[in-house]
């Protein structure tokens, strides 16, 4: 896979041409934003809420940390409005670890995104784990120099987010449940749709029909057909709790995984974090996945929630287009 540069046909405001010691340099290009996401591949991005957790994550081999105010499980428990994390905590974490730092903002909340961008986080997650702030539109991410990641539960959603300028997709599961079932079904849904698009790649009329059905523009459907995969890096997220979960999702063709509550809601966080990293990198080697699985104790896994009778379905939140 090489980096796909398919984009909305317009001059993104997020690209800044600046000088660096009198030399002209370009920042915020699609190549740099998607390139950053490509560097995360085959890695584990861990949700953290404080400096201590971020250091445990870094030592375990997390490829980046995602800062949020409450872990998804606690968001469910506490109810109320979930907002972006305190700037102070984000800054403290930046001073404590060398790996990239991501943070979540509410869907459509341009101001929270601006705040995060000016703190200097490496990537912003416009996330349904927080309470959506706009029911009609997502953030227009081409306006930013910093790259974004968005959730998606089917191909149409994923391609619409890419059209808005996101540099990375995470296939939605049901966060905070400790249950991978939703993540698994959405990845299969996306994969099947990509296979369908690839199978009609030489039929222009059918591609136009597909674009209408998916409610996206034609160029991005053509690009998906050409590549036979999503045009940006795709990570799995939502409900991953054990090394075997991570290996399972990697085997379904994801480029990496996000782990939310699964690590820091377990009673063996440091050890579990290492085990998930190992099982993600060596997902296709059953012997190493067994080794990783031995590093964790199932009695210490988070108990988890049944995804059937949830009061709050996070994956359903946010604008439908």
Partner 1 sequence: MNTKISVGVLGIQGDIEENKTVAQEALIHSNVKGDVKFVRYAEEIEKIDGLILPGGESTVISTLATIQGGILHTIKRRIAEGMPVLGTCAGMIMLAKRAYDRVVGETRQQLLSNLDIVVERNAFGRQDDSFEAKLSIPILGKNNKFFKGVFIRAPIVIEVGAAVDIIAKFNNRIVGVRQGNVIGTSFHPELSGDDRIHRQFIKTVLDCKRHKGAQQI
Binding site for partner 1 (CB under 8 A): 1-3, 20-29, 31-32, 35-36, 38-43, 58, 60-64, 94-101, 117, 120-123, 145-147, 274, 277-278, 281-282, 288
Pick between residue 189 and residue 252 the one whose CB is nearest to partner 1: 252
- Which positions are catalytic? 104
C-alpha 124/C-alpha 122 separation (Å) is 7
| Pairing of β 23-27 and β 16-20 | antiparallel
Residue 257's SS3 state is strand
Q: Which residues are CB-neighbours of 270 under 8 A, at least 6 positions away?
A: 56, 59, 60
Nearer to partner 1, 94 or 244 (CB): 94
Judged by beta carbon, residue 107 or residue 279, the one nearer partner 1 is 279
* Minimum CB distance to partner 1, residue 282 (Å): 7
State in angstroms the smallest separation of the CB of 321 from partner 1: 29
* Cβ contacts of 205 within 8 Å, gap of 6 or more: none
The answer to whether residues 75 and 41 touch, using CB atoms and an 8 Å cutoff, is: no
Give the closest residue to 190 by CA, choosing from 146, 142, 157, 149.
157
Q: Return the axis-axis angle of helices 204-214 and 218-227, rounded to nearest 10°.
A: 110
Nearer to partner 1, 141 or 153 (CB): 141
Phi/psi at 90 (5° precision)? -60, -45
Least separation in angstroms between residue 112's CB and partner 1 is 17
Q: How far is the CB of 180 from partner 1 (least distance, A)?
A: 21
């Amino acid at each position: 896979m090489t980096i796909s540069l398919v984009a909305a046909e317009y001059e993104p405001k997020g690209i800044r041409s600046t000088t660096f010691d009198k030399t002209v340099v370009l920042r915020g290009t699609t190549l740099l934003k998607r390139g950053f996401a490509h560097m995360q591949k085959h890695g584990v991005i861990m949700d953290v809420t404080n400096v201590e957790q971020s250091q445990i994550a870094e030592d375990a081999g997390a490829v980046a940390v995602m800062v949020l105010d409450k872990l998804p499980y606690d968001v469910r428990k506490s109810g109320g409005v979930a907002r972006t994390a305190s700037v102070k905590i984000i800054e403290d974490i930046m001073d404590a670890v060398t790996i990239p730092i991501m943070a979540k903002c509410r869907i459509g909340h341009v101001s929270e995104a601006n705040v995060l961008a000016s703190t200097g986080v490496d990537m912003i997650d416009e996330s349904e784990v927080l309470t959506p702030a706009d029911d009609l539109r997502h953030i227009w991410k081409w306006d930013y120099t910093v790259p974004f990641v968005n959730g998606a539960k089917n191909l149409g959603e994923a391609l619409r987010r890419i059209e808005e300028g996101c540099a990375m997709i995470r296939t939605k599961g049901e966060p905070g449940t400790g249950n991978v079932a939703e993540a698994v079904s959405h990845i299969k849904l996306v994969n099947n749709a990509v296979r369908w698009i690839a199978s009609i790649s030489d039929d222009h009329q059918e591609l136009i029909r597909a674009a209408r059905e998916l409610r996206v523009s034609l160029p991005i459907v053509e690009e998906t057909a050409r590549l036979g995969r999503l045009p940006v890096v795709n990570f799995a997220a939502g409900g991953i709790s054990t090394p075997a979960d991570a290996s399972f999702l990697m085997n379904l063709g994801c480029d990496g995984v996000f782990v939310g509550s699964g690590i820091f809601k377990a009673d063996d966080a440091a050890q579990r974090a290492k085990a998930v990293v190992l099982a993600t990198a060596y997902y296709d080697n059953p012997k190493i996945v067994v080794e990783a699985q031995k590093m964790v104790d199932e009695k210490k896994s988070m108990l988890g929630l049944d995804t059937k009778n949830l009061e709050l379905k996070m994956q359903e939140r946010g604008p439908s287009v």
